Chain A
Amino acid sequence: MLSFIGRSVVQKIITLFFVSVVSFLIIHIAPGEPSQVDPMNPKFTPEVVERFREEFHLDKPLHVQYIYFYQNLFTGKTVSWKDNQSVLQKIWERFLNSLPLFIVGTVLTWTLSFPVGIRSAIYRGRLYDRSATFLSYLLISIPGFFFAYVLIIFVVTHFHVPVIGMETFGTGNTSTVFVVMDRTWHLLLPSVLGATGGIAVLSRYVRSQMLEVGGQDYIRTARAKGLPQEQVHYKHALRNALLPFITMFGLILPGLIGGSVIIESIFSWPGMGRMAYEAILARDYPVILTVNFVSAVLVLAGTFISDILYIIADPRIRL
C-alpha cells in the first residue's frame, strides 16, 4: 500500500511537470504576443511596450520565463498582467462564486441519476426504460447554450423571475426571505444546466451496471430463495453495482475548477469559467496558466483518490 502510494505520487509529480511544460509551450509558442493585444491604443507607445515586456520578463528566453513563472506561482507572487492583482487571490474569489453552482449541480446529478438508472434497469425494455433512454440521449445531445435560452425564456415568461447574474441588482434592503428566494432562482437554472449532461451519462451508467450485476448467479440464487423483489434489487444487486461509482467520487474533483465557460457567460455568472474566458480574451497568460495548472493538479489528485478508494472498497484488489 505505502509503496503504491509513493510510486503513484512520484509518477503524478512527473506528469505534472510535463503538463506545466506543455501548457507553457502551447501558450508561448502560439503566434501573437500579449504586448500586442491592443495595437490601436495610442497609449501603447513602443517605450511602454518595451517596459511591459521587461516588467513581465517577456524579453528573456523561454526557459528563463518558465522558471520565473513557476517560481512566482509556488511562492504565491504571480500577478495578473491585466490588473496587477494576485492571481491566486482572483482565482479564490471566483472559485467561491462557482462553488454553489458546483455543489447544487453535483447533488442534483447524484440524487437524480441513481433512481432513474435503477428504475430503468428493473423495467428493462419497457416503456419507462425506453423513454428514459431516449431522454438521456436527448439531454446529451442538446447544445448547452441552446437549452439555456429555452429554459430562460420558459422561466422568465411563466414565473416572471429574473435569472441572469448571481442576484437581482438593487435588492439591498429587502427582507431575508426575498433575498434567499432571489438567490435560489438565480442559482437554479445554471446548476440544472450544468447537471443535465451528468444526469444523462450517470443514469445510463447506473443502468448498465445494474443490468450487469443482475445477470450474476448470486442474484438468481437470491430470487430462487424467494426473497422479495425489493430486497433483491436494493440489497443484493445495488450494493455490488455501487462499486465503480466509488471511483467516480474522485473524478468529480476536477469539476470544481472546470466551471462551464458557456453557461457562466450566458448567465453572466462571475465564476471560474468566465474568468478563464476573460483571461483568454485578454491574453492574460499568468491566469490561464495558473487555472490550467490547478486543474491538472485536481485531475491528478482525483485519480489518486479514486485509486485509493477503490483499493479500500474492493477487497479483491491486493497490493
Chain B
Amino acid sequence: MVELVWLIPALPLAGFAVLLLAGPRLGEPRAGWLATAASAGSFLFTLVTFGGLLGLDSATTGGAGGHGGRWFVSTLFEWMPIGGLEVDAALLVDPLSMTMALFVTGVGTLIHLYSVGYMHGDPKYSKFFLYLNLFLFSMLMLVLGENLVVTFLGWEGVGTCSYLLISFWHERPTAATAGKKAFVTNRIGDFGFMIATFLLWTTLGTVSYAGLAAGAPALATGTATAVSLLLLLAAAGKSAQLPLYVWLPDAMEGPTPVSAMVHAATMVTAGVYLLVRLNPVLTDTALLIIAIVGAATALFAALAAVAQHDIKKVLAYSTVSQLGYMFLAIGSGAYVAAIFHVVTHAFFKGLLFLGSGSVIHGLGDEQDMRRMGALRAVMPVTAVTFIVGWLAIAGVPPLSGFWSKDEILLAAWEQHRLLWAVGLTTALLTAYYMSRQTFLVFFGGQRWDDSAHPHESPATMTLPLVVLAGAAAIGGAVNLPLVGDWLVLEHFLEPVLADPHHFTSETWEKLLLAFVAVLAALIGITVAIAAWLRSRIPTDKLEPALLENVFYFDSTVSNFVGGPGTKAFEAAATADRRFVDGAVNGVARLVRMLGEAVRPLQSGYLRHYASGVAVGAIILVIWLALRGVS
C-alpha cells in the first residue's frame, strides 16, 4: 500500500490543475467542494499509506540510515542529475513523514470544508481554493520529500502560497505588504536552508535523508554545528522564531481559514519538522542554542499576546509562542515531544483560529475584541468548541495540550532548569491571555451594536469546529506518559531518531512537575477571571503599551528597513547612475574633446601636412643625433 504514496500530493495537485483551467466556470460552491474532495482524497490515501507502513515490520533493522524496516522510498523520476549530484523527485514514507502527512491532510481537509462556508460570496472564490490546493500539495511535498531539495521545493512552495494567500485581498495595501513581508522574511531563512544543503552535499556527497542520516556521525563537530545553525536559521524563518517572527502577526491579513491552516496548523511547523528530520546532524552546542531561541520566543510572544486587542493577533502571537515551545523541545533533545506538540497544536490552534473566524464572520468582519463580548448565547457551537480549544492550549488536563506541553516542560527541566522556568512562566501567561480572550469574546457584557446581528455560522463551518474540538480534547491519547505501552507516538517515531530521548526523572518528580504546570495554568486562569470576568483587578494596567507594541521590535526593524536601509539602496542606485555610468559617459566626452582638440590638424591643406612632416623629420633627426652623442 505504501506504493500509493504519490497519490497523496497528486490529488491536491490535480485539484489545483482543474481549478486553474476551469475554476471560474465551476464557480461557487462547486470549486470549493472539488478542492475539499481533493484534500479528503489525499487524507484517505494518507491513511492507506499509513496502514501500509504499519504493515512493514518495524523490527527489521539495517534499513536505510538505520531506520529499521519502516522506511519506503518511492522514486518518481530523476530531477536534477548532473555530475555526482543526484536529486530525485522521490517521496519518503516513514513514521515521521506519515505523522506529519496525517495531520496535514486531516486538519487541511477540515479547513477546506470550513472555507466552503467562510468564503461564501467572495468574488475570487475559486481562486482561493486554487491556492489552498496548491498549498496542500506543497506542504505534502515538504513533509514527504525524500531529500533536502524536494523538501525545499515544498518549503518554497508553501512560502509562495502563503504569499499569495496573505495578499489574497490584494486591493488592501496592508494585505499586500504583509504578503511581501512574509515571503521576503522567509527567504532569509531559505538562504540558511540552501547553504546548509550545500554544506551537507559538499561534505557528505548526498542530499537524501537516508544518506545524510548514515553520514552524519562522520561529520566533524564544527561542520555539524554550522549545518545545525543554518538549519535553525531556516526553521526560524518558516516557524516564526526570534528574530524572524515579524511576518507571522502581519500574516493575519489573510482570510482566517488561511491563518488556521497555513499560519497555525501546518506551514509554520515546517521548521520543527526540518530540525527533527535532520536530528542526526544536530550537535549539543546547536541544541542548546535552539532551546534558548525557543524559550526566548515562547516568553516574548506570550508577553505580546497578553496585550493585543485584535482577536487574530492574540492567536498569532500565541502561535509564535507555542512554536517556541516546540523549539525548546527540540533543543532539549525531546524530538517526540516536539512533534507531539506540533500535532496537538494543529488541533487546538486550528480550532481556535477557525472559531475566531466564525466570530469574525458572525459579527460582520469585526476583529477587535473590545467590540465583542457575550457571544456565547448567540454562537453556542462556536463558543463551546472555542472553550475546548482554550482549555487545551491552557494546559488543563486531560485535554491534549496538557500532555504535550507537560512533556516539553519535563524535557526542559532535565536539560536546564532556567529554560524550564521560562517555559513554566510562558505556560502561566498562555493560560492567562487565552482566558482573557475567551472572556472578552464570549462572556461579560455585550459591546457590539445590535445592528451587527451576530449569528451562528453555517454547518460547513461548525462541523470542522466540532471535529477539531474532539481532536483537541482527546488528541493527547496518542502519547500518554507513565505507562510505557501508551507512548504510541514515541515508539512509532523512535526509528527516525538517531538518539531517542529518554526521561530520567523519577515518577514522583514527573508528577510534581505536572502538578506545578497545572497550578501555573490555574493561576493564569484565576487572574484572568479576576480581571476580565469579575473586574476585581483594574484592567487598564494589564495592557501596557510596551507589550501591545511588542517591545517595539517590529516597528524598529521596519523603520530601519524603510529608513536607512532604503537610503543605502537608493545611494547604490544613484552611484550606479552618477559614477559608474557617469564614468562611461565621461570617457565618451573625453574622447570627443580629444577629437575636437586634434581636429584642426586635419585641415585638408597640403602645406600644413607638409610642414608637419618637415617638423617631425627635424625633431627625429635631432633626437637621433642626441642619442648618437650620448
Q: Do A and B come from one complex?
A: no
Q: Which residues of A does B touch, CB under 8 Å?
A: none
Q: Which residues of B does A touch, CB under 8 Å?
A: none
